[in-house]
Chains A and B, each alone.
Chain A
């Protein structure tokens, strides 16, 4: 069993698009998490989701790593893109899709949303 912080780091660094949210796509527990998820879906992002609610350490370690105090947090190839407001704004302007194309390739596309558990 690796440390919570190591598992978070692995998700951030290894997943194309990582969304740390309250709840899961099946049961979203927070309006801002819903907004971020929907913006990513509109952009067709291949999202890997981590629910931060099961263990308060996930949120603590994530914020320590990213320096971002709130949930949700979206990362593309290891880089913090922002929270719900930024992701919505970037999606509306087309910049989110541009970033995804640039970082993941022109033919990036949504596979099924994946939920990863950090324990």
Chain B
């Protein structure tokens, strides 16, 4: 599952640094970290929305039970 989420993030943020950690080992609690120049100048709410958009399917179908997001800009 971690790989699937990483792949979806890489498709949404091509060329950017993405990392997914399964926090509990149960395949449904994740910490995702994305570093992208696309975040520059955006509010945290806007930054997290981009990550939510990338993971809309696993969020909607219940695959992801808990998601923690860390976003970083290019600076």
Contact = CB atoms under 8 A, between A and B. Distances in A.
A82 B45 contact: yes
Interface of B: 44-45, 48-49, 52, 56, 59-60, 66-70
Contact of A86 (B44, B59, B60): B44
Query: Closest 3 interchain pairs by CB?
Result: A86-B44, A85-B69, A69-B59
Interface string A57-90: 0000000000111100000000011111110011
Contact of A70 (B44, B67, B70): B67
Nearest to A66: B45
Interface of A: 30-32, 67-70, 80-86, 89-90
B45 A81 contact: yes
Chain A interface, DSSP helix/strand/loop, else mixed: mixed
A56 B54 CA distance: 24
A67 B49 contact: yes
A89 B68 CA distance: 12
Contacts, number: 32
A101 B27 CA distance: 40
A82 B48 contact: yes
A80 B45 CA distance: 8
27 contacts: A30-B66, A31-B66, A32-B66, A67-B49, A68-B45, A68-B49, A68-B52, A69-B52, A69-B56, A69-B59, A69-B60, A70-B52, A70-B59, A70-B67, A80-B45, A82-B44, A82-B45, A82-B48, A83-B48, A83-B69, A84-B68, A85-B68, A85-B70, A86-B45, A86-B48, A89-B44, A90-B44
Nearest to B60: A69
A67 B40 CA distance: 21
